[in-house]
Structure 1
């Protein structure tokens, strides 16, 4: 992960420095104290571009040592084999657990891999992939292959639903009606709840219907305001879903962006573009332009964020370079109370913070649409 951060030309310098400090702390914890003190940031960054022997902790066994391994090729490009080595050899370590849980390490790797894959796409492919992450995050293998088409072999971010015991109810899984990803099954004694991790607070939760079970999926009774009828799907090896980190950091933000677009499309004098960047399609998410004859043109460059922790989001945004244009950070409506905290943290960075509902109201007012 340190090598990936070191080699990413699009990573803001402050963000890179923060990540490398984190990784250096993990590496130092694998060494005896007297050796750890000698590995400062300079030694760490040099060691990433040299044979790895100087950075590795003492070996318990001679097998699978990587003393001579180089992470970068002769042109300074991260070697393709690094990802394979991470998949094959990176294992939990007590020192790692003190800094990060194993789950966090896997999530960090998967999130980085997603964004690196997206960045290698053309602008057209990027926009299509972002939409597919939202519209087809789970389903039957044939259905997914048909939907993803030429992008299927480039997006190996799917796992078999049958390997996720938390999503199965007597051999069936249930897609969330909002995000289409498998909902979680939670048993409380004789009661079984089924709910979406991301949308339970918005009313996507169910309970098993008592009795009347046949050979098909267990019927669910909606217990939330957004619990529309859902059909159970067989939890077989032929049914796949995006990994949790990709769903969390790829699907959920895209849902927010598309919901915002759908609320604005069709308004008078208003033009909405999705992922409009030409050099980097992920530069920001929506470009909203309102041009009313006789009035000043209004423009919003929107970056939608679906983070659980507003504090963590603030830390990430503070590490960005100051932008050459004004950026509007949009939060889900249920995080309306957090916008004041985020605004205070981002003061002086050319960023304003609002929510989906507030931005829609502002655009409608600017274009002269009748208020809802």
Structure 2
């Protein structure tokens, strides 16, 4: 049996960290051997993949510096790269790249599993293809752009610029609706004309429903992934690991002839209500990841700053920055960054160094270890870097 034949079954055996690391390796390998795109854009994507790979490896000892990451990507078999226990499988012994830097057969198969194969079994790949079509319709992506080229900046820029065409009020309302209502009834969606025109909502993925039902994550309200456990039960959990760790994981089973959810651990004591799939539409995975998740922190910071006595405007001047906070003559111009990629954040903001002056770059408290790195890069351009906790502490004491 060839390594390519073993891919589907062996993918099922990977733990979450291994799957995340492998996803980063696959996208990095595609970027490495692909001639498309400018060298700078390819380097940016490789650095993003390195950041994701490092987070997945954690304390396993499989992490590497960026040069070592590229060297091992080109030479090492998959088993020497992934965190966690090793395996004797064909996949573990395969390399992603050939000696000449071209794609190995296993890389092609893994890429198919991530996109083309999901046309028969819709899932994350189907979500990303939907997002691809949305961005194409908005004029952001040229024909033929690979799924792996879609970045957070491209998504946010395209969607927000399209919303701005309807005017500031419609832009603010539309952006707020995307963040706080990632799943809508079709009738409710019809009331948001600007969102209907964008075409960003689609049918709920089969991977996020079971027996005709779905359930919202208690924290982000998006569809939780459903993993069947036989014909009469399923495990539901949020795609965001932080939400899962806090308790956004449940068991769905038949009880007295009705489907019910029960909590599976964490701080959640009451399960969300199951909802019928029929008549519901949801944002794609990419829009949830790149608009809903960062937007949740933006909206939360607004409420926390107002509670501390400040006056707050969300997304002032279009998409210039995220929050304009004032209190007792003090002003904070805040740009929120939630993605754990300090190189990417720095690179993005250095593209417009004048835009950094006077900004406060806020990252979540759990990414506080990046404050020093970002401050060294962005400080000379006039930006400060704080965690969300530090920002609210400043506002509270002003």
* CA distance in structure 2 between the aligned counterparts of 1:87 and 1:116, rounded to whole angstroms: 10
Q: Which of the residues 225, 243, 246 maps onto 2:284?
A: 243
How far apart are residue 109 of structure 1 and its match? 6.3
Q: Is the 8 A contact 1:176 1:204 kept in 2?
A: no
The equivalent of 2:52 in structure 1 is: none
Counterpart position of 2:166: 121
Measured in 2, the distance between the counterparts of 1:258 and 1:224 equals: 24
The aligned length equals 270
Q: Any conservation in 1 of the 2:263–2:270 contact (CA below 8 Å)?
A: no
Whether 2:363 is the aligned partner of 1:331: answer yes
CA distance in 1, matches of 2:252, 2:356: 56
Q: Which has the higher helix share?
A: 2
Match status 1:21 vs 2:38: yes
TM value normalised by structure 1 = 0.63
Q: In the alignment, which of 236, 257, 273 is matched to residue 214 of structure 1? A: 257
From 277, 288, 302, the counterpart of 2:325 = 288
CA gap 1:165/1:22 in 2 versus in 1, 3 angstroms: farther
- Aligned residue for 1:287, secondary structure, equals strand
Q: Looking at both structures, which has the greater relative contact order when contacts are Cα pairs under 8 Å and sequence separation is at least 6?
A: 1
Q: Structure 2 unaligned segments of length 5 or more: list them.
A: 1-35, 43-134
Alpha-carbon distance in structure 2 between the residues aligned to 1:267 and 1:85:
39
- 1:335-360: CA deviations, max 9, x gaps? 12221222223231211111111111
Q: Is the 8 A contact 2:219 2:248 kept in 1?
A: no
How far has the Cα of 1:178 moved from its partner? 1.7
1:194-343 to structure 2, matched below 5 A, reads: 194-198=236-240, 199-200=242-243, 203-208=246-251, 212=255, 214-215=257-258, 217-226=259-268, 228-236=270-278, 238-268=279-309, 270-277=310-317, 281-291=318-328, 297-323=329-355, 325-343=357-375
Question: TM-score, normalising length from structure 2?
Answer: 0.59
The structural deviation recorded for 1:260 is 0.5
Higher Rg: 1
Q: How does 1:149-188 map to 2 (within 5 A)?
A: 150-161=193-204, 164-186=205-227
Point out 4+ residue stretches in structure 1 off by more than 6 angstroms. 85-89, 106-109, 188-191
**Retained in 1: the 8 A contact 2:323–2:334?**
yes
Task: Give me the whole-angstrom Cα distance separating, in 2, the residues matched to 1:257 and 1:88.
Answer: 27
**Corresponding residue number in structure 2 for 1:53:** none
SS at match of 1:208: strand
Q: CA RMSD in A?
A: 3.4
